[in-house]
Amino acid sequence: MTGTLTAQTGKARTAVVYFSATGTTERMAKGAADAMGADIFEIEPVHKYTSADLNWHDRKSLSSIECNGPKSRPALSRPVAYARSGFCL
């Protein structure tokens, strides 16, 4: 997909913005958005994470590097537009 990611409904004043590499955070974000009647946005990296990337026991894995380096963040596949929401989670 290309372009700007926008809200599913575009009408809520609250947005749940999430990133999920394994699906766990996605399930929680969708549940929270449904419960609050919030818009929901998925942050998608350009590079899909592999199981090796997510191995937090390995100090050289991508997730460990990103977690420990505040300036080290993945490139996004598209910008996230949530300007309509007054409050973002």
pLDDT digit string, tens, across residues 41-88: 888 888 888 999 999 899 999 888 888 877 777 777 777 665 555 655
The segment with the largest mean pLDDT, out of 23-32, 35-44, 49-58, is: 23-32
User: What is the rounded average pLDDT of the residues 23-27?
Assistant: 94
% of the chain with per-residue pLDDT over 90? 27
Phi, psi of 25 (to 5 degrees): -65, -35
3-state secondary structure of 16: strand
Its pTM stands at 0.65
For residue 83, what pLDDT is reported? 52
> How far is the CA of 35 from the CAs of 12, 21, 45, 67, in angstroms?
12, 22, 26, 29
- Residue where the block lists tokens 């946005």: 41
